[in-house]
């Protein structure tokens, strides 16, 4: 039985380094709201440019993980984190983001731009207790103790 979802094409993106339950939650929630989910995976070069740090898991492996998930219809490389550029390429009608970004200057501007082209911005609750930053800190601590 094919039940029509609220949105036809959805988009979300991230680094997806040290994949964890928070990543899974956002992807499953996004897929529950759209027929076709496109996931942008930030390239290693772009992560270095925007966060000034190297990923633990290389891009080719991170995108393979996303491509293999049943809640992801298409995984694409995100060479630039500008979401308007992503929209120009994929013409999605909703973009999903964690609510830790809600109310930030950057996302208030995106909300305004997307409203002009009839794209909804949907925020999902941030998964408390786990993040790639926390995992990275724990891993570094273990390495230091060895």
Query: Catalytic positions, please?
Result: 51, 53
Token code pair at residue 71: 């809640």
Q: Which residues contact 59 (CB under 8 A, 6 or more apart)?
A: 41, 43, 44, 77
Token code pair at residue 87: 């929209």
Q: Are 78 and 86 in contact (CB under 8 A)?
A: yes
Task: Indicate the DSSP class of residue 127.
Answer: -
């Amino acid at each position: 039985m094919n039940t029509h979802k609220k949105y036809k094409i959805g988009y979300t993106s991230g680094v997806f380094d040290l994949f964890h339950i928070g990543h899974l939650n956002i992807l499953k929630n996004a897929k529950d709201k759209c027929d076709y989910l496109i996931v942008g995976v930030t390239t290693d070069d772009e992560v270095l440019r925007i966060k000034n740090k190297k990923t633990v898991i290389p891009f080719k492996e991170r995108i393979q993980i996303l491509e293999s998930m049943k809640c992801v219809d298409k995984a694409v490389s995100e060479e630039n984190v500008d979401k308007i550029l992503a929209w120009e390429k994929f013409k999605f009608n909703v973009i999903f983001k964690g609510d830790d970004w809600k109310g930030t200057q950057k996302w208030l501007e995106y909300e305004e731009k997307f409203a002009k082209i009839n794209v909804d911005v949907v925020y999902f609750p941030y998964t408390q207790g786990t993040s790639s930053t926390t995992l990275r800190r724990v891993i570094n601590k273990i390495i230091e103790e060895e």
